[in-house]
Structure 1
Amino acid sequence: MEADTEAALRRTRRLFVNRDNLHAAIRTVVNKTLEVRDVSLWGPGTTCASDSRKFGSWSANFMTEWHQRYGGAGIMVYWHVERKNVCIYSQVRSTTDSEVASMIEGLLRHLTSAEIDRQYTDTHGASIVGFAFSHLLDFKLLPRLKNIGSARLYRPGLTEGEAWPQLEGVLSGKTIDWELIANQYDQMIKYATALRLGTAEAHQMLRRFTRGGPKHPTYRAIEELGRANKDIFYGRPVI
């Protein structure tokens, strides 16, 4: 067989080897893998874990940033891996990007046939905002928290703690503002719908809410909802 010329290979790369085609090919492989698996042996494929890894990169790369935790300049690759080691989504981010936003973005944009309802992360992939959006987007956030021993639970009401004297050591003096959650619930649903439909990116939305200065009322309500769901996570067994 006659070898392909350099010009033909360059033309093939230019016309066919691009991000959209690679995503489509990977998605096809993942979907076929999930399709042929025996559910009785491998499970239904509804559990996913996500984490990031830092890769060194040249300073000329526009995404290269220095991050103290990663110990050097580089970029971050964030993976979503289904329970039986099938990667359903990956994304290249800057090292200073929010891992919580990357976690949400991957769950909503993977476009495979996997129906994820439980998401595992490390401490950096979870926050009270992450707990709130996981509730609004209807999946369970199950982080591995390294500081769980120092966690303090918010009280449901001003006098609710009196009913559980054994929990006095882990209850804080603060309470959940249910009225704020009720008043801003329609707005929270609006933002969650924008994320689900793709009209807004998680990174943009979280960046908008977490700027310095006074907090947006909806963001304060999201924090309250996240605290409530985080406390529920602390108090229930993970199955």
Structure 2
Amino acid sequence: EARADYNAKYGSEPGVKFYTHVSDRYAPFHTKVIAANASEAAHILDGLLHHECSLDIREHYTDTAGAVDHVFGLCHLTGFRFAPRIRDLADRRLYVADARATYKSLDPMIGGAIDFRIIGENWDETLRLAASIKAGTVAPSILMRRLAAYPKQNALAKTLREIGRLERTLFTLDWISDPGLRRRTNAGLNKGEARNALARAVFFHRLGEIRDRTFENQRYRASGLNLVVSAVILWNTVYLSHAVAELRSSGERVRDDLLAHIAPLGWEHITFNGDYVWPTEPLQNAFRPLRNPRSELLDAA
């Protein structure tokens, strides 16, 4: 109840958000309960650094709202490439190393010069900060909130802002010149949105409302939802592999490069509520038999 807040994007009732990180293989690997109006940018590194799984994360995708200078700086210092989708590109400003240099084609987008002096003066403290975050001494989200409280007085906040401006400028130039990066980022975000759609379909208990008042119980509910969604994704993945093997055994040519575009996130074939019928006999090989979608057409012919 203390964490509930109003956010018009999600309706007129107070609520919280389950912020979930999803890998490029559709597997959710970290989830966190945050306030409905909280900035998601502050919690990005929590999932990247404290997911406690074997994933080797190199690049992270977010929507435009996550493109914050401090996040760019901290991701660079902790070894991740931050790749947010940039929609309002015309309103973004680039920062150069030398204010006296001229960049004719990019001049309308240049917002100023990077202050390397403040980076040099606070470099050692910045490295200690990054080491503390990576070692788990301090949570990145807590640090981000404290830095945001006094952005003009805090030397570390200024240093991370300048490092973030440099990284954001380099990324923006890559975004403009690299179509592959834009496609990769959009594909990564689409995977996350498809997973969220599956989670909304699964979360029908208590009419899809979070009625737990304590933060601990809300965390349990988020973890339980994550577990059910992961089970559906695994179930779909296993049966998709059996379906591909069946097609190939019958002479069908199924290309591996096309399989990379098949998502195990569908749920039309899953009965979430209603009557559950359990088989009286054990399933052979522990799998249900595959259905042939062409069988009715073949029988009619």
TM-score in same-fold range (> 0.5) = yes
Instruction: Pick one of 118, 122, 129 that aligns with 2:63.
Output: 122
Alignment match, 1:206: 144
What does 1:1-239 correspond to in 2, within 5 Å?
Answer: 61-72=1-12, 73-160=14-101, 162=102, 164-172=103-111, 174-212=112-150, 214-236=152-174, 237=178, 238=181
Q: Within 2, Cα distance between the matches of 1:74 and 1:129?
A: 27
Change (3 A) 1:186 1:68: farther
Distance 2:75 2:114 in 1: 18
Distance 2:10 2:162 in 1: 31
Higher relative contact order (CA 8 A, sep 6+): 2
Report which of the two has the higher share of helix: 2
Structure 1 stretches lacking a partner, 5+ long: 1-60
**Rg bigger for which structure?**
2
- Name the CA distance, whole Å, in 2 between partners of 1:229 and 1:111: 27
Scaled by the length of structure 2, the TM-score of the pair is 0.55
Residue 97 of structure 1 contacts residue 203 of structure 1 at CA under 8 Å; is this kept in 2? Answer: no
Which protein is richer in strand relative to its size?
A: 1
Name the amino acid aligned to 1:75.
Answer: V
The 3-state SS of whatever aligns with 1:120 is strand
Q: Partner of 2:105: helix, strand, or coil?
A: helix
How many residues get paired?
176
1:223, 1:128 → 2: CA distance?
5
Rate the CA distance shift 1:65–1:201 in 2: closer, same or farther, 3 A.
same
CA change 1:227–1:69 in 2 (3 A) is: farther
In 2, the alpha carbon distance for the partners of 1:188 and 1:70 equals 37
Distance change >3 Å, CA 213–CA 110, structure 1 → 2: closer
2:21–2:29 CA contact under 8 A, matched in 1: yes
Taking the aligned partners of 1:181 and 1:205, their CA distance within structure 2 comes to 18
Give the whole-Å Cα distance in 1 for the aligned partners of 2:9 and 2:150: 22
The amino acid across from 1:186 in the alignment is D
Is the CA contact 1:133–1:192 (under 8 Å) kept in the aligned structure 2?
Answer: yes
Once the two structures are aligned, what percentage of the paired residues are identical? Answer: 26
Q: CA deviation at 1:67?
A: 2.8
Q: Which residue of 2 aligns with 1:16?
A: none
**TM-score of the superposed pair, with normalisation by structure 1:** 0.69
- SS state of the match for residue 65, structure 1? coil
Distance 1:143 1:205, change over 3 A: same
Q: Please give the alpha-carbon distance, in whole angstroms, between the structure 1 residues aligned to 2:143 and 2:166.
A: 21
Deviation at 1:111, TM superposition (A): 0.9
Equivalent position of 1:54 in the other structure: none
Classify the secondary structure of the residue corresponding to 1:89. Answer: strand
